């Protein structure tokens, strides 16, 4: 039994380490967006394998524990939730890389007369990720639920970006369609990042309460 508990503790440390790494990457890509920092964006792209490798290792460890110990109740919920959170963290890493690719592309183009300020949207998404990971660390249901309610705010930012970029193109502010599309895609990737943070909060709620809260099933 002590051996089993040690393995569970090891899994918790691994998922928290991955969470810390992903949070760091999100913070750096937000800075890269603001500064149009190509060097930072390329470094983030180059280091993506670190997140991928950790994700595979965590999933393998969880599956090994389930196969060897056949856990039940809260322990099984924990492992199932970790597998899903693990996947969402890896997908956040993918969104970070997608944003980095857009930063590199727009930075290559001449300075356009139109730009969209992503700082508030990016900060909100980063805050959601931090809160979801804190709810995991502290097993804090209230914090997890707060994350679920913040998702709509990021969606509104994405809609605003779409409307403003579409209007700028209609007004002929710039004829660089590729540049505008990349601006639009950045907002889409940030919104998807926030969606994955929401998924993590949902899994934390499941871990704590044993109730599935996806698809608007939160009371």
Give me the DSSP letters along 132-172: HHHHHHHT-HHHHHHHHHHHHHHHHHHHHHHHHHHHHHHTT
Least confident of 55-69, 106-120, 124-138, 172-186: 106-120
**Mean pLDDT across the stretch 197-210?**
93
Could you state, in order of their start, the residue ranges of all structural domains in the chain? 2-209
Q: Which long-range contacts (C-beta less than 8 Å, at least 24 apart) are formed by 76-81? A: 77/206, 77/207, 77/210, 78/8, 78/11, 78/207, 79/8, 79/11, 81/203, 81/204, 81/206, 81/207
Q: Which CATH number applies to 2-209: 1.20.58.220, 3.30.2290.10, 3.40.50.720, 3.30.300.30?
A: 1.20.58.220
A 10 A CB-CB count for 32 gives 23
The Cα–Cα gap between 188 and 68 comes to: 41
The Cα–Cα gap between 61 and 129 comes to: 24
Determine the pLDDT at residue 117: 92
Distances (CA, A) of 105 to 14, 99, 129, 190: 34, 10, 26, 17
Determine the pLDDT at residue 217: 52
The Cα–Cα gap between 89 and 151 comes to: 17
Which among 187, 177, 133 has a CA at the least distance from the CA of 155? 187
A 10 A CB-CB count for 155 gives 13
Read off the pLDDT of residues 33-46 as tens digits, 9 standing for 90 and up: 999 999 999 999 99
Mean pLDDT for the chain overall: 93
pTM: 0.94
pLDDT at 199 exceeding the cut of 80: yes
Read off the pLDDT of residues 141-164 as tens digits, 9 standing for 90 and up: 999 999 999 999 999 999 999 999
pLDDT at 115 exceeding the cut of 90: no
The Cα–Cα gap between 191 and 208 comes to: 26
Q: Left, alpha or beta for 140 (phi > 0: left; psi -120 to 50: alpha)?
A: beta
Q: Which residues have C-beta within 8 Å of that of residue 10, sequence separation ≥ 6? A: 61
């Amino acid at each position: 039994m002590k051996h089993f508990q040690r393995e569970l503790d090891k899994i918790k440390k691994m998922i928290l380490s991955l969470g810390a790494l992903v949070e760091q990457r999100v913070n750096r890509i937000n800075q890269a967006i603001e500064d149009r920092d190509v060097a930072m964006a390329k470094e983030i792209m180059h280091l993506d394998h670190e997140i991928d490798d950790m994700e595979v290792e965590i999933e393998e460890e969880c599956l090994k524990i389930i196969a060897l110990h056949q856990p039940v109740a809260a322990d099984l919920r924990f492992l199932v939730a970790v597998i899903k959170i693990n996947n969402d963290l890896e997908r956040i890493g993918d969104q970070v890389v997608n944003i980095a690719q857009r930063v590199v592309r727009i930075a290559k183009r001449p300075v356009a007369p139109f730009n969209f300020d992503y700082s508030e949207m990016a900060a909100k998404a980063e805050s959601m990720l931090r809160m979801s990971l804190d709810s995991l660390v502290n097993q804090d249901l209230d914090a997890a639920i707060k994350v679920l309610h913040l998702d709509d705010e990021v969606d509104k930012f994405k809609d605003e970006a779409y409307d403003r970029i579409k209007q700028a193109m209609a007004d002929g502010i710039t004829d660089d369609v590729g540049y505008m599309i990349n601006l639009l895609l950045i907002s889409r990737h940030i919104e998807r990042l926030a969606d994955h943070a929401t998924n993590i909060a949902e899994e934390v709620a499941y871990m704590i309460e044993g109730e599935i809260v996806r698809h608007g099933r939160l009371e």
